[in-house]
Structure 1
Amino acid sequence: MNRKKGGAAPVVPICHTISVVIPTRNEALVIGRCIKIILNAPHVVEVIVVDAGSQDKTRSIAEAAGAKVLLHNPCQGDGRGRGGQIRAGINEARADVVAIVHADTLVPPRTFTRMIRVLNARRLVIGGSAGCRFQIRSPGRAWQIRIKLIEFLNHVRAMVFGISFGDQVQFFRREPVFSRDLFPDIPLMEDVEFAIRMRSLGDLVYLNEKVVVSARRWETRGSGNALLVIALFFLYLIQRPWGQPDTTFFYERYYGKPPG
């Protein structure tokens, strides 16, 4: 993505195909529908499910739905957590573009078409995120307002600052990310770190698509989850200029257990 002398636009290949990487762990209830919708989309040539040792039928359901399934469950050292799963999927991907989708996410086929169109129309764009809307099951009015506020803050963060979360469907040109080994295999904050790293390669876009994401974690853990996410996010940004933050600590603080 380097510019030529004289400020000319870089020469980058046209994008035609998309690999979708889905990190999973015990997602049998949602993974099948997620994959089937994705495989109906134009440009998507493969879905790679990277599973962290599910104890349910996640892997067999994913294979039956048409995905390639990798088992990635390191017991110690680097590569634990979702960051390691996603990087393993990127290394396996072969398409021009990679999109990262969470298992509880439903991505409209047109979203993938927009990714290809934007990347081909704007050659300085390295990638970005698609956006999301939360699927709310709770009927409470107060809770619905809280979820909508979280959605709004997500939009602002991705649109204004270019820092997207994983549930906003991050996507990117595969070759420059793969050749520079740019995706971090850290257990938590991998999405934030990756968004920051992508900015060193080119421009980022935010599509603001109507991708549907389950609000199950927010509903299960309550409003305190939002405050915890915000606190960890800003703590990460504060610590980052002084070196790589201890993301194992972040994982343990968020999930209440060591990564593995």
Structure 2
Amino acid sequence: MSRFNVSIIVPVFNEADQLTPLMNRLRLLQDRVTEIIIVDGGSDDGSFEKLSSEFQVIQAEKGRANQMNAGAAQATSTWLIFLHADTHLSPSHINDMISLASLSQWGRFDVKLDDSAWAFRIIEWFINRRSSLTSIATGDQCIFVRKRFFDELGGYASLPLMEDVEFCKRAKRQAKPVCLRKAVTTSARRWQQFGVLKTVLLMWKLRLYFWLGVSADDLAKQYR
């Protein structure tokens, strides 16, 4: 089985309860990629100590953008995949990515939420449709990008929120993304915890305010 010239970068922070299933999923990818880099943001729940030595594990300043940039700086592959700890990426996703990656400098997957309720099918449809129309992806869609292109763009801006949206805005000015219809599955826990309607309205509001120029620091306070 061929190993692709891909580095998977996984930012984690206080994910102790999620680490065992995460590492089990990552083990299924080890033989398909050059390296898997887990970047801990200074967890205080024992996450760092629980991370397996079979993966490359580094520490960085807290914040997804900072952690992903640190992982990218360590990466040695042609392609980078940024994978959230609660998103499921399979070997077949990587196969599909590689088969179409030559069409662009970067891209993303469709997303599926891990709840069977009908409301989540509607949310998924809107997320994927919006992303296809705007060429803007969120981090749970597993953004992938050529390392050289990522470096040329200066990586992710050091923002506490919307770093993925801001990166896509810059990236799409240079190259149209590959939008893979194959969906990665991600956690619906935020919608489940805070309510579907409340969460959808909050996310729409945050995105609108970001486009209107409200600082990511101010938006992050509302998101928490």
Structure 1, 174-183 or 86-95: larger mean CA deviation: 174-183
The Cα of 1:164 is off from its aligned counterpart by 0.6
C-alpha distance 84-105 of structure 1, shift in aligned 2 (>3 A)? same
The Cα of 1:201 is off from its aligned counterpart by 2.4
Counterpart of 1:201 in structure 2 is 174
Three-state SS of the structure 2 residue aligned to 1:23 is strand
Deviations 1:197-245 (A, max 9, x none): 1112212011122311111111011121211111111111222xxxxx5
Counterpart of 2:205 in structure 1 is 231
Contact 2:153 2:171 in 1 (8 A): no
Contact 2:153 2:170 in 1 (8 A): no
In the alignment, the residues of structure 2 paired with residue 39 and residue 181 of structure 1 have an alpha-carbon distance, to the nearest angstrom, of 30
Deviations 1:56-106 (A, max 9, x none): 232233224x22122223xxxxxx521111111111111110011111111
Contact 1:18 1:96 in 2 (8 A): yes
In the alignment, the residues of structure 1 paired with residue 8 and residue 19 of structure 2 have an alpha-carbon distance, to the nearest angstrom, of 13
In structure 1, what residue type is equivalent to 2:185?
V
The Cα of 1:155 is off from its aligned counterpart by 0.5
Structure 2: gaps spanning 5 or more residues: none
In the alignment, the residues of structure 1 paired with residue 23 and residue 79 of structure 2 have an alpha-carbon distance, to the nearest angstrom, of 17
Contact 1:162 1:195 in 2 (8 A): yes
Q: Select 1:145's aligned residue among 118, 140, 151.
A: 118
In the alignment, the residues of structure 2 paired with residue 163 and residue 191 of structure 1 have an alpha-carbon distance, to the nearest angstrom, of 8
Q: Select 1:211's aligned residue among 165, 184, 188.
A: 184
TM-score by length of 2: 0.90
The Cα of 1:36 is off from its aligned counterpart by 3.4
The Cα of 1:16 is off from its aligned counterpart by 4.2
The 4+ residue runs of structure 1 with deviation greater than 6 A are none
In the alignment, the residues of structure 2 paired with residue 202 and residue 18 of structure 1 have an alpha-carbon distance, to the nearest angstrom, of 20
Q: Select 1:95's aligned residue among 61, 77, 102.
A: 77
Contact 1:31 1:104 in 2 (8 A): no
The Cα of 1:252 is off from its aligned counterpart by 0.9
In the alignment, the residues of structure 2 paired with residue 171 and residue 219 of structure 1 have an alpha-carbon distance, to the nearest angstrom, of 28
C-alpha distance 157-35 of structure 1, shift in aligned 2 (>3 A)? farther
Structure 1, 166-175 or 128-137: larger mean CA deviation: 128-137
Contact 1:39 1:45 in 2 (8 A): no
Output aligned runs, 1:157-172, within 5 Å: 157-172=130-145
Alignment partner of 1:128 is 2:93: no
Alignment partner of 1:22 is 2:5: no
Three-state SS of the structure 1 residue aligned to 2:178 is strand
Q: Which structure would you say has the larger Rg? A: 1
Aligned length: 220
In the alignment, the residues of structure 2 paired with residue 213 and residue 31 of structure 1 have an alpha-carbon distance, to the nearest angstrom, of 15
In the alignment, the residues of structure 1 paired with residue 194 and residue 85 of structure 2 have an alpha-carbon distance, to the nearest angstrom, of 19
Counterpart of 2:215 in structure 1 is 246
Counterpart of 2:40 in structure 1 is 51
Q: CA RMSD in A?
A: 1.9
The Cα of 1:32 is off from its aligned counterpart by 3.2
Three-state SS of the structure 1 residue aligned to 2:219 is helix
Structure 1: gaps spanning 5 or more residues: 1-14, 74-79, 138-143, 240-244, 256-260
Contact 1:97 1:172 in 2 (8 A): yes
In the alignment, the residues of structure 2 paired with residue 38 and residue 157 of structure 1 have an alpha-carbon distance, to the nearest angstrom, of 29
